[in-house]
Chains A and B, each alone.
Chain A
């Protein structure tokens, strides 16, 4: 006895999550993202291939974007460089101006006395500030080789490299961050240092210019350039969209109109405004449509005339033929009263009228196919009934040939959606043909079916067909053996019409034959109207014979 699981089985998702290690979860997430990205890329590629507008807009955006970035960077670089250069020149000239004043103040001061140096610094600051502010705000720091006199941490601020240059007796300039006034925050700055010779040694005088204002100006410039660049980009894209829309819309209208034309609505035209290239396209399109419509109308008229002619010929021929037929019947009925040659003439007249009528009927039928006016009147019926009706209708002919007709029908009804009248005509023709060539031997009819199709084979054991004839038997007025006399007086159109009837049903009608072994014709019909045949339930060649499958 097996134990039934009593514990509730955790749901698949929970178990899955518990089993999946974190690494695998991450890789699953990555995979999901990749899939989504791939889907997005595919969607974009599809849209790219489909939409001219998208292509033009994207290309315009890319090209303009690159141009705007290059120009923007260039402008900002140039202007910022210019501003800083001016500041630097102003700072240097300020240092030159202040040199004399600083020299006179510092001349008598001993580098070792801190208080004196601080006084001197204040004195210099006052002097320089009073002399003008052409280079903007600045502060001063005084250092000497041995000591720092600056308040606080001037030495922190002035870079070592600059000091070394100044101590060697040069005027030196360097950009370096400064401590902002009143805050510990560092701001970008420019430092100019100059050596001031004094009695006791060399003082270093540093001018510290904060670059806050310049920095703000440059930032403003960057913002402005960025903003104008973006606006320009948007504007150019809008223009590109608008222009392509102007071009693409008429093209789309033309495409849609062409589609409707192709679907058969020949009265479709494009609305044309103005006289530009687009208008010319529209006008040429309309001209084409007009000419197309005219051609098709002409062909339709021709076809109608043809059909009308066929119909009229039918009527006009049939009325006198009726009179002749009645007269012939009357003569035939009284032939015993005539002298023998007149009696025989009446017989011949009547017999040939039968042939004439049959031929006329089939000519008209085939001309109906040629004119494309034949149509199906399909309804569902049992194929066995149609076969039985055909066999019953041909009983007289079979008796005259001395042939037995054997039907192998399935025991159950085989409903087929078909035009029974046409199918009956096909079978009648096949049966008449088999009896005609069967040389009095039995003719076998078999019915096979599957879910999709039904097949009927008509087999005779007569003289058969020569190699290559299987494809020719359906030709109009084709004669298998011109030297052979025919008993039924077939018109030579029966099989051709049968083939047309089969095709009208989307069916197949094929022939197999071997010299001396008789022939077999196979009709295959789809069981539902409009269904495409893939195979036939019965083989084309009889059992025991090799036959090539060909339509």
Chain B
């Protein structure tokens, strides 16, 4: 059996870092491609069709935020930001523009690879599974193996991360998930991580699946605890 190596697009202008990333990624069984200029990142993305994107936020040409937005506009491919600042608006801005996760420089190679693997995780459960959540007059149904979400018969396009988040909530409709639990189940963090990841992606998910994102019916907030799926 031939294992297809996952392709990684590295968008970073620092040549040394890019080269080092290349060495580490090849060692860990990835097939990296590189682009150093923000303005050429989108074209490189279309050419290489990567399975995951590593994106530096500070880029010449187009900024990392804009690149992120441009890629997200045409694909749900996981994007992991490489950032030098962990607690600035940049992180929130990057997440809001569509990044799935971020790692703070200087990161350890294992940490980076773990983040990438979490995003590339294949759903081995191929058994047919359909989940339904949300209000009875406009339910949202999820076909898990087909990676498809339907509302009133029309498909909703979700990124893989948003899909995972929705499935995690929908599988246990009565359970309230804390942000920490969601970080572990969806993002694959084993230790406490940035809960802003959860907040931002719940907002993004709501903007797609809710009729009125201001008054959510599918993904409900449980004040002071976390989130849960709306009743089916």
Q: Which residues of B sit under 8 angstroms from A321, Cβ to Cβ?
A: 105-106
Nearest A residue (CB) for B27: A330
Alpha-carbon gap, A320 to B20, bound state (A): 10
- 1/0 per position for A456-496, CB-CB distance to B under 8 A? 00000000000000000000000000000000000000000
Q: Is B16 an interface residue (CB 8 A)?
A: yes
Interface: B44 (CB within 8 A): no
Q: Does B14 contact A (CB under 8 A)?
A: yes
Q: A315 to B84, Cβ gap below 8 A?
A: yes
**Chain A contacts for B84, CB-based, 8 A:** 314-315, 318-319
- B150 proximal to A (CB < 8 A): no
A323 to B110, CA, bound (A): 13
B17 x A319 contact (CB < 8 A) = yes
Residue contact B191 to A393, C-beta cutoff 8 Å: yes
Judge whether A39 is part of the interface by a CB distance below 8 angstroms.
no
* Cα distance A136–B27 in the bound complex, in angstroms: 140
Is B58 in contact with chain A by the CB < 8 A criterion? Answer: yes
Interface readout for A142-154 with B: 1 if CB under 8 Å, 0 if not?
A: 0000000000000
Per the bound structure, the CA–CA distance linking A327 and B19 in Å amounts to: 10
Q: What chain B residues lie within 8 Å of A27 (beta carbons)?
A: none
Bound CA span A324–B224, Å: 41
B85 touches A311 (CB 8 A): yes
A393 to B85, CA, bound (A): 22
Contact between chains at A315 and B85 (CB < 8 Å): yes
A329 in complex: contacting residue of B16, B108, B192, CB < 8 Å: B108
Provide the residues of chain A in CB contact with B109, threshold 8 Å.
325-326, 329-330
Q: Which has the most chain B C-beta neighbours within 10 Å: A318, A324, A327, A380?
A: A318
A-facing residues in B1-50 (Cβ within 8 Å): 14, 16-17, 20-21, 23-24, 27
By the criterion CB–CB under 8 Å, are A318 and B21 in contact? Answer: no
B27 touches A326 (CB 8 A): no
The smallest beta-carbon distance between B83 and chain A, in angstroms, is 9
Residues of B within 8 A of A318 (CB): 84, 105-106
Chain A residues, CB < 8 A from B17: 319-320, 322-323
Task: Establish whether residues B85 and A314, one from each chain, have CB atoms under 8 Å apart when the complex forms.
Answer: yes
Chain A residues with CB below 8 A from B21, complex form: 326
A357 proximal to B (CB < 8 A): yes
Q: Measured between C-beta atoms, what is the minimum distance from B52 to chain A in Å?
A: 17
> Once the chains are docked, how many angstroms separate the CA of A321 from the CA of B17?
9
Q: Are A389 and B192 in contact (CB under 8 A)?
A: yes
Contacts of A323 in B (CB 8 A): 14, 16-17, 20
Q: Assess whether B108 is in contact with A325, with CB atoms less than 8 Å apart.
A: yes
Interface centre among A322, A329, A380, A381 (most CB of B within 10 A): A322
A329-B110 contact in complex given A315-B58, A319-B17, C-beta closer than 8 Å: yes
Bound complex: CA of A322 vs CA of B88, how far in Å?
Answer: 19
Are A320 and B16 interface neighbours, CB within 8 A? yes
Q: Mark B105-122 against chain A: 1 for CB-CB distance below 8 A, else 0.
A: 111111000000000000
Chain A nearest CB, measured from B190 CB (Å): 11
- Of chain A, the residue at the smallest CB distance from B13 is A319
Per DSSP, chain B at the interface is loop
Q: Which of A324, A326, A381, A389 has the most CB of B within 10 A?
A: A326
Please report the C-alpha to C-alpha distance between residue A9 and residue B17 in the assembled complex, in whole angstroms. 94
Evaluate whether A330 and B24 lie within 8 angstroms (CB atoms) in the complex, with A319-B14, A393-B191 already known: yes
CA distance A323 to B84 in the complex (A): 13
Bound together, the chains give a CA A381 to CA B225 distance in angstroms of 9
Please report whether the interface of chain A is mostly helix, strand, loop or mixed according to DSSP.
helix
Expressed in whole angstroms, the Cα–Cα distance for A323 and B14 within the complex equals 9
**Chain A min CB distance to B199 (Å):** 11
Query: Which of B27, B105, B106, B224 has most A Cβ within 10 Å?
Result: B106
Complex Cα distance, B21 from A357, in Å, reads 19
- CB-defined interface of A320-345 with B at 8 Å, one 1/0 digit per residue? 11111111011000000000000000
Query: How far apart are B59's CB and chain A's nearest CB, in angstroms?
Result: 12
Residue-wise, chain A 520-542 has the 8 Å CB interface mask toward B (1 for contact) of 00000000000000000000000
Q: Measured between alpha carbons, how far is A398 from B18 in the docked complex, in Å?
A: 37
Point out the residues of chain B lying under 8 angstroms from A315, CB to CB.
Answer: 58, 84-85, 105
- Bound-complex Cα distance A479 to B80 (A): 40
Contacting A322 at CB < 8 Å: which of B58, B85, B107?
B107
Distance in angstroms from B38 CB to nearest chain A CB is 15
> Roughly how many angstroms separate A321 CA and B20 CA in the complex, as a whole number?
12
**In the complex with contacts A315-B84, A393-B192, A322-B27 CB distance below 8 A:** no
Q: What's the minimum C-beta distance from A528 to chain B, rounded to whole angstroms?
A: 15
Tell me how far the C-beta of B222 lies from the nearest C-beta in chain A, rounded to whole angstroms: 14
Docked-complex contact A322 and B106, CB < 8 angstroms: yes
Task: Give bound CA distance, A179 to B24, whole Å.
Answer: 136
Name the B residues within 8 Å of A314 (CB-CB): 84-85
Chain B proximity mask over A367-395: 1 for CB below 8 Å, otherwise 0: 00000000000001100000001000100
Q: How far is the CA of A420 from the CA of B192 in the complex (A)?
A: 11
A32 CA to B85 CA in the complex, in Å?
Answer: 71
A393 to chain B: which residues have CB within 8 Å?
Answer: 191-192
Contacts of B107 in A (CB 8 A): 322, 325
Name A41-68 residues within 8 Å CB distance of B.
none
Question: Which chain B residues lie closer than 8 Å to A389 at the CB level?
Answer: 192
Identify the closest chain A residue to B180 (Cβ).
A389
Complex: A494 Cα to B175 Cα, angstroms: 39
Contact between B106 and A357, CB atoms less than 8 A apart: yes
On whether the beta carbons of B20 and A326 are closer than 8 Å, the reply is yes
Query: Which residues does chain A contribute within 8 Å of B58, judged by CB atoms?
Result: 315
Minimum CB distance partner of B15 in chain A: A323
Residue of A nearest to B112 (CB): A326
Interface residues in B41-75 by Cβ distance below 8 A to A read 58
| Given A315-B85, A319-B17, A325 and B27 contact (CB-CB distance below 8 Å) | no
Contacts of A326 in B (CB 8 A): 20-21, 23-24, 108-109
- Contacts A315-B58, A380-B224; A322 near B105 (Cβ below 8 A): yes
Known contacts A380-B224, A393-B192, A327 near B20 by CB under 8 Å:
yes
> B65 to nearest A CB, angstroms?
15
A230 to chain B, nearest CB (A): 71
Measured CB to CB, the nearest residue on chain A to B107 is A322
**Considering the chains assembled together, what is the distance between the CA atoms of A311 and B109 in angstroms?**
24
Pull 19 A–B residue pairs with CB atoms less than 8 Å apart, ordered by A. Answer: A311-B88, A315-B58, A315-B105, A319-B14, A319-B17, A321-B106, A322-B105, A322-B106, A322-B107, A323-B14, A325-B108, A325-B109, A326-B20, A326-B23, A327-B20, A329-B109, A330-B27, A380-B224, A393-B192
- Further pairs besides A314-B85, A327-B20: 10, Cβ < 8 Å: A315-B105, A319-B14, A322-B17, A323-B16, A326-B24, A326-B109, A329-B109, A381-B224, A389-B192, A424-B192
Chain A residues in contact with chain B, CB under 8 A?
A: 311, 314-315, 318-327, 329-330, 357, 380-381, 389, 393, 424
Residues of B within 8 A of A (CB): 14, 16-17, 20-21, 23-24, 27, 58, 82, 84-85, 88, 105-110, 191-192, 224
- Considering the complex of A and B, which 9 residue pairs feature the smallest CB-CB distances, nearest first? A315-B84, A318-B105, A322-B106, A321-B106, A318-B84, A322-B105, A325-B106, A323-B20, A323-B17
